Amino acid sequence: QVQLVESGGGLVQAGGSLRLSCAASGRTFSRDAMGWFRQAPGKEREFVAAISGSGIKTRYADSVKGRFTISRDSAKNTLYLQMSSLKPEDTAVYYCAADLTRSESATPYQDEYDYWGQGTQVTVSS
């Protein structure tokens, strides 16, 4: 059974940092593009960051550019999101996802992702 499991969320003060992890099991995602999305209370889920299968191409939402870094460890079949200079508006449930079709696109479009994790809560206090 294919699974994506996020971890690393929690409560942090504004200005702080967190690193999210997304561990994949059931298949190897080392050549698949992967992404992070988030959903704040009362809002639609939105794109945060994506990385190509090779790891060469990355894409970020404007709201996190310069503060968040997406990376992957193919040997560990794990995706990461390093979040720094966190703001209260970053509070959300964060989801990782895998795109099995467009390995080098790092697409920001949710519909183009095939597998999703269950999410991890990130809360940033002011």
Do 78 and 30 touch, CB atoms closer than 8 A?
A: no
Q: Give me the chain's average pLDDT, please.
A: 96
Per-residue pLDDT at 30 exceeds 90: no
How far lies 64's CA from each of 5, 26, 109, in Å?
22, 30, 16
Q: In the prediction, which pLDDT does 107 show? A: 95
Q: How far apart are CA 95 and CA 6, in angstroms?
A: 7
Least confident range from 32-36, 61-65, 78-82, 102-106: namely 102-106
> CB–CB of 24/77 below 8 Å?
yes
Question: From its phi and psi, is residue 76 left (phi > 0), alpha (psi between -120 and 50) or beta?
Answer: alpha
